[in-house]
Structure 1
Amino acid sequence: MSRPASDRTVDPAPVGDRPVRLGLRQNIAQFTLLVAVNALVGGMLGQERTVLPLLGEQEFGLRAYTAGLSFILVFGLAKAATNYLAGTWADRYGRKPVLVAGWLVAVPVPLLLIWAPSWTWVLVANLLLGVSQGLTWSVTVVMKIDLVGPARRGFAMGLNEAAGYGAVAVTALVTGYLAQSFGLRPAPFLLGLAFAALGLGLSVLAVRETREHARLEASGHVARADGRHDHLHDELTDREVFVQTSFREPALSSASQAGLVNNLNDGLAWGLFPVLFAGAGVSVGRIGVLAAVYPAVWGVGQLVTGALSDRWGRKWLIAAGMWLQALALAGIALADAFAWWVVAAALLGAGTAMVYPTLLASIGDVAHPAWRARSVGIYRLWRDGGFAVGALLAGVVADALGVRAAVWVVAALTAASGVVVAARMYETHHYRHAPLAGDGATGG
C-alpha cells in the first residue's frame, strides 16, 4: 500500500542530531507523551465540574443563576483570549515555551480554590485557569498536528481530545465522591495540585519542540486539486488570518461558529446541570456520576470519531453531531429521573464526540502550515468564547424563566448551528479517498 507523501520519512531539517519526520509512527514517543500531558490539562478542568457550582451555592450563598455562573464567564473570556495569543506566540517563540508558561500559571489555581474566603478568589482562580487552559490545551493540539502530518489528523485530534475530556470525566467523578466523603474543600482540589506539578515537570523535562515539523510540512505543502485554497497562501498577516478563520473562508468560519455553540452548551452543562440535579434531590455522589457521564462518552467516543473523520470526511459528522447534541439537551429538559438523565448525558457526550475533534481537524485541513497555529488559536478563541456566551445566556434565561427553559434555548441554538454547517461548510478532508498509511492506532 502506498503512503501519502506527507507521511513519508523526510529529514531535510534535523533538530540537533535528530532528523525531522512527519507521521504518527515516526513520532509515537513524543505524541504519546503529549497525549498524557493533555490528560493532565483536562484533569485541571475536571476538578471543578462537580464541586464548584455546589460550592458557590452552599458555601458562598449564591442564589442567582447569573452570579453562580460568573466563574464560567471569567474562565471562558480568559481562555478565549489566551487561545488567540497562544497560536501567535507558538508561531513566534515556539511551542514548548508556551506549554511551560501555561503550566506555571496553573500551579496557583487549586491553592486559591482551597483557601478562597470569598467568591472573588474563585473568580481569580478561574481567570488563571482560563489562561492556563488556553496556553496548554491550544499548544498540545498544535504540537500533535505538527507531528502527524495531514493524513492522520482526525485520528490525532481524537486521541488528543479523548485524553483531555476522559480526564475531565474521571476527575469529575472522583471529586464528586471526595466531596461527598470529605466535604467540598480541600480534598477535591488536591488532585488538581498533583496534576499541575506533574504536568509542569513533564513539559519542562520531556516534551520537545515541534515547530520544525510544521516548517517541514510547509516546505512540501501541496495545494488542493479542486483549487479551493489557492487564495490562502503562506504569507497572511495576523489580521488576514483572523478574517479568514472567523468570517470569510466558508469551512473555517463554519467551524468557528459551530465550536462557539458547542462550548455554549458545554458551559450550560458545567454551570447549571449540577444545580438542576441537586434541585431534584439527587445526591452529590450521583451528581458526580452525571457530571462524569457526559465528558466520559465524549472522551472515549473521540477515539472512534476522530479516525472516522479521516475516512468519511468532516462536514456531515459535524452537522449530525450538533443535531444529536440538540436532541440530548431536549431530553435533559424533559427528564425528571436519574436514569433518563444518564441516557441524555450519554447522548450529549456522543454528539460532542462527533463534533469536537472533527472541527479541529477541519481547521488543520484548510489552514496553511505557515499560519496554522494562529488559525487554531483563532478558532479556539471563538470556540471557548462559547463558555462566556453560554454562562451569560443560560444565567439570564434561568433567572427569568427557570433552568429548564435555559436548556431549551440552548438546544434550539445548537440545532440551528448544525443547519449552518450543512448549508455553508464544504468537505475539507481531501485525503479521504486516498489510502491511509497504517490503519492501526500506531500507523504512520
Structure 2
Amino acid sequence: MPGSTRPENPAATRRPVLGLRQNLAQFMLLVAVNALVGGTLGQERTVLPLLATEAFHLDLYTGALTYILAFGLSKAAMNYFAGTLSDKYGRKPVLVAGWLAALPVPAMLILAPSWGWIVTANVLLGISQGLTWSTAVIMKMDLVGPRQRGLAMGFNEAAGYLGVAATALATGYLATTYGLRPAPFLLGAAYIALGLGLTVLAVRETHHHAFAEASGTPAAPGAAGAGLSTGQVFTLTSFRDRSLSAASQAGLVNNLNDGLAWGLFPVLFAGAGLGVGQIGIIAAAYPAVWGAAQLVTGAASDRWGRKWFIAAGMLVQAAALAMVAAGSTFEAWLGAAVVLGIGTAMVYPTLLASIGDVAHPAWRARAVGIYRLWRDAGFAAGALLAGLIADLYGIPVAVAAVAGITAVSGIVVAVRMRGGDHRPAAALP
C-alpha cells in the first residue's frame, strides 16, 4: 500500500519454516535477551523497598509503593503499544527502542536526590520492560508456530524470571557488602548495555514468520478471524471472548499479588528483624522457583491444556499468600515464597500460550499486547490496594486480602474459560 509503514509481507516470495528446532539459534538468542530484560527489573527487587525507608524515610506504605504504581502504569501502556507497533514497523525496531528507554535508569537510581527521581526512573523502566518483554514474547510465538507455544512461553518466562531472581540475589549481596547505592545498580547498567548490543547486532526480524502462519491458519473455535481493527481486538481480548477475557483478568490479579510481593514483602521481613541477606534470599527464591518451574509447566500445558493449570495455579498462589500473612520466621516465609513461585509458574506461561491459542496470527501481537496491558496494570492495582490496606490495617491484613482476591480469580477461570482452546493449534497439520 503506498505510504504505508507496515513491513512488507515476505511470505509472498519465500515461506519461513516454523518450529522451535528449525529456529533454535534465534530462539535461544531471544531467550538470552529476555534473561537480560528480567535482570534489568531484578536490580530493584531487593534494594528499592529498603531504599525507600532507609534513604528517603518514607513511612507510609502507599508513598513507598509509588514507584511500583508508576512502573505498572507505564509498562501496561507500553505493552499495548508494543503489539500495535510491532505489527506496523516490525518486531526488532520495537525491541531496540525498549533497550534505549532503559539506558538512563541505573544512573537515575544511583544519583537520585529525591524520591521523585526514583519514580521517574521507574516510568522509564516500565516503558522499557513493556516494549522489550512483550516483543520477546511475540517474536518467540512467531518463530515456533502453534505446536510448541506453551514450551516456548515456558522458556521465555523462565529466562526472564530467573534473570530477576539471580539479580535480586546478587543485588542483595552487593547491598550488604557495599551499601544500597551505587553497586547494585551498576549490574543493571551492564545488563542494559549487553542487551542493546545483542539486539542490534544479532537479533533478526520475525514478522515474516507470523505472515506465513497467518496465511494458513483459521481462527480457533469461538474466536474471530483475521480482519479485525485494534478496537475490536481490544474488546474481544478484554471482555467478549470467554477465554481471552478470563486470561486477562487472571493476568491482572497475578501481577496484583506480584506487586504486593515486590513492594511489601521486604518491608514485612525487615520489620520482623531479618537482615538484608535473608531478605535477598527470599526475594530471589520466589522468582527462581517461578522461573525454573515454567520450563515444566509451559510444556505440560501443551499436552494437557491451559484452563486447569491456570485455575489451580491461582489457588496455589492464594494459599502461599495466606502462608505469608500467617508467618513470622525466615523459614516460614522462605517456604511460602517457594509455594508462591510454583503457583505463579503454573499460571504465567500458560496464560500467554492461551492467548496465542485463541488469537489469529494476524492480530495475535495486538492481543498479546492487550493481555499484557491488563496483566501489568495489576502492578499498579497491587501497589495501590496493598499500600492502602497496609497503611490502615498492617501488612499481614493486606496480604490476606490479596490472597482472597487471587482465589476468586482462579474460580473465575474455572467457570469462564473454555477448556479445549489449545486443541485446535495442536491438531494443525
Q: TM-score of the superposition, structure 1-length normalised?
A: 0.93
Matching residue of 2:360: 368
Superposition pairs for residues 7-406 of structure 1, below 5 Å? 13=12, 20-224=16-220, 227-229=221-223, 232-406=224-398
Distance (Å, rounded) in 2 between the aligned partners of 1:64 and 1:116: 20
CA distance in 2, matches of 1:68, 1:150: 43
Shift in Å, 1:14: 5.5
Describe the superposition over 1:252-279 as per-residue Cα deviations: whole angstroms up to 9, x where unpaired: 0000000000000000000000000000
Matching residue's letter, 2:154: G
Give the letter for the 1:323 counterpart.
L
1:432 Cα deviation from its structure 2 partner:
7.8
1:429 to 2:422 alignment:
yes
1:209-266 C-alpha deviation (Å, 9 max, x unpaired): 0000000000010344xx423xx01111111000000000000000000000000000
Gaps of 5+ in 1: 1-10, 438-444
CA distance in structure 2 between the aligned counterparts of 1:431 and 1:223, rounded to whole angstroms: 9
AA in 2 matched with 1:381: L
TM-score normalised to structure 2 length: 0.96
1:176 shift after superposition: 0.3
CA deviation map 1:122-141 (0-9, x unaligned):
00100000000000000000
Name the SS of the counterpart of 2:423 in structure 1.
Answer: coil
State the one-letter code of the partner of 1:182.
Y
* Partner Cα separation in structure 1 for residue 423 and residue 94 of structure 2: 31
Q: CA deviation at 1:303?
A: 0.3
CA distance in 2, matches of 1:400, 1:203: 46
Report the AA paired with residue 196 of structure 2: L
Shift of 1:21: 1.1
CA distance in structure 2 between the aligned counterparts of 1:89 and 1:57, rounded to whole angstroms: 38
State the match for 2:5 in structure 1. Answer: none
Q: Which residue of 2 aligns with 1:6?
A: none
SS in structure 2 of the partner of residue 198 of structure 1: helix
Question: Deviation digits for residues 177-224 of structure 1, max 9, x if unmatched?
Answer: 100000000000000000000000011110000000000000010344
Q: Which residue of 2 aligns with 1:412?
A: 404
Residue identity in the other structure for 1:155: L
Q: Which structure 2 segments of 5+ residues have no match?
A: 1-9
Q: Is the 8 A contact 2:18 2:209 kept in 1?
A: yes
Q: Is the 8 A contact 1:310 1:432 kept in 2?
A: no
SS in 1 for 2:337: helix
Query: Which residue of the partner structure matches residue 440 of structure 1?
Result: none
User: Does the 8 Å contact 1:312/1:432 carry over to 2?
Assistant: no
Q: Percent identity?
A: 68
CA distance in structure 1 between the partners assigned to 2:386 and 2:399 by the alignment: 8
Q: Runs of 4 or more off by more than 3 Å in structure 1?
A: 11-15, 431-435
* CA separation of 1:82 and 1:139: change in aligned 2, threshold 3 A: same
Deviations 1:134-168 (A, max 9, x none): 00000000000000000100000000000000010
How many residue pairs get aligned? The number is 419
1:13 and 1:20 in contact (8 A); partners too: no
- CA distance in 2 between counterparts of 1:415 and 1:321 reads 10
Mapped partners of 1:101, 1:20: distance in 2: 25
- Answer yes or no: is the 8 Å Cα contact 1:311–1:432 preserved in 2: no
Q: CA deviation at 1:20?
A: 1.3
Secondary structure of 1:21's counterpart equals coil
Amino acid at match of 2:51: L
- Contact 2:51/2:180 (<8 A) preserved: yes
**Partners of 2:304 and 2:98 in 1: how far apart?**
35
Q: Report the RMSD for the aligned CA atoms in angstroms.
A: 1.3
